[in-house]
Amino acid sequence: MIKSRLCDLIGIKYPIIQAGMGPFSNNNLCVATANAGVLGLLSTSGVFNKNDQPWIYNDFVRTGEADPEDDMATVLEKVLKRTYRLVKDKGSIFGINVMVSTEVLQASHIMIDMAIRVCQENPDMKKHFKVIYTSAGDPLGWKDKIKGAGFTWIHIVPSVKAALRCKKAGVDVIVASGHEGGFHTSWEPVHSMILLPAVVETVSDNETLVVGAGGFCDGRTLAAALIMGADGALMGTRFLATQESDFHQIWKQEVVDAGDRATLVARGFVGPARWLKTPRSQEHARNTLQKSPGVFLGTPDDYTTLDMSLIDFEIESMKATFEGNKEKALMAAGEVAQRIKDMPRVDDLVQEIVREAETVLREVPKRVLV
């Protein structure tokens, strides 16, 4: 059985992380992936959307067994307790993905404070709710709060420079996210074949683990990550297209049906985002070129300078996705969408990934002479 330092650190069976994809709920997917032996991550971005995107918020509340009248912290508390209840008997491990970008920083503190309080009030939960995964922001300043509460801290980065900042901040596991990844991606297009080994060479040691993200979807790519020196792989789009995934059926089916060169990059909520290629996303890309050209030039902008019609277009399109309106939907996905051809159950998928990775790794010495 494949095992890495990541497995030992957080107690999972296989060195795979299910990405905490949003903005829609992934409450059911997280349970399924955790119970399949990988690290399941709950998305929390849907909890930020009570006022501006209530259709997302209400779905997050419904699948998390919370109440629409609950405040943000109470919703997360109920989601965490539900997840714990559904994974504890199998000894499964889960965490939360919290965006810490400037635009949502106040909400980020509420989410992490609640996570800490829930575990303090429910000591047995600490055996299963072990990880806080931060994204889309600066890691500095979070160490005392997250690690001080006993959580393993994971942060995702798009560059070696950002990985060094994670090292300085005291992050336990650094996820090196190549530009192939779905939804929010980096301002500069550095892909996994370059980024992952560079981050491994720069920061991996006895105290800091590295995980690859962007382009990983099966046993062959998991094996590649391990061979490049990573401690595991994070997979988003591959888990999106599963039977237990909470994402709308049209979104999942579009991933399965995607063919060669199936994605493009256009503006997203917090920067560049990778979308499935459709007439709607192509329109969004054209608008991005006119109104936020930095997405294609590597020059960041933010809500103080951005033409907000791009964000309005994205919100309208996300609502259409939620409602099953394929014509107006924007659906995020990584480049791996072109390699995904089925919609299996999560446990079957994980077992197949692990079997394939084992086969590939066993074959390497037979195929290569050193």
Question: Are residues 75 and 214 part of one domain?
Answer: yes
More confident residue, 323 or 101: 323
In a domain, 369, yes or no: no
Question: Are residues 216 and 114 part of one domain?
Answer: yes
From 90, 97, 50, 93, select the one nearest 70 (Cα to Cα): 50
Please provide the DSSP assignment of 303-321 as one string. TTTS-THHHHHHHHHHHHH
Residue 50: pLDDT band with limits 50, 70, 90: confident
pLDDT, position 303: 85
Residue 49: pLDDT band with limits 50, 70, 90: confident
Listed range (79-83, 200-204, 226-230, 317-321) with the worst mean pLDDT: 317-321
Question: Are residues 348 and 328 part of one domain?
Answer: no
In a domain, 368, yes or no: no
In a domain, 112, yes or no: yes
pLDDT, position 104: 81
pLDDT digits (tens, 9 = 90+) for 262-315: 999 999 988 899 999 999 999 999 999 999 999 999 999 888 889 999 999 999
Q: Is there a contact between 24 and 218 (Cβ–Cβ < 8 Å)? A: no
Give whole-number Cα distances, 299 to 132, 163, 293, 294, 295, in Å.
29, 20, 8, 4, 7
Judged against a pLDDT cut of 80, whether residue 370 lies above it is answered with: no
Judged against a pLDDT cut of 80, whether residue 139 lies above it is answered with: yes
Tell me what the mean pLDDT of segment 27-34 comes to.
97
Give the residue numbers spanning the domain of 168.
Answer: 5-247+344-362
Average pLDDT, the chain: 94
Listed range (43-47, 50-54, 111-115, 352-356) with the worst mean pLDDT: 50-54
Judged against a pLDDT cut of 80, whether residue 117 lies above it is answered with: yes
In a domain, 253, yes or no: no
Question: Are residues 352 and 317 part of one domain?
Answer: no
pLDDT digits (tens, 9 = 90+) for 212-252: 999 999 999 999 999 999 999 999 999 999 999 999 999 99
Question: Are residues 282 and 190 part of one domain?
Answer: no
Q: Which long-range contacts (CB under 8 A, 24 or more apart) does 188-196 make?
A: 188/158, 188/159, 188/298, 189/298, 190/158, 190/159, 191/215, 192/216, 195/158, 195/159, 195/160, 196/225, 196/228, 196/229, 196/230
Question: Are residues 75 and 150 part of one domain?
Answer: yes
pLDDT, position 1: 79
In a domain, 305, yes or no: yes
pLDDT, position 127: 96
Question: Are residues 131 and 15 part of one domain?
Answer: yes
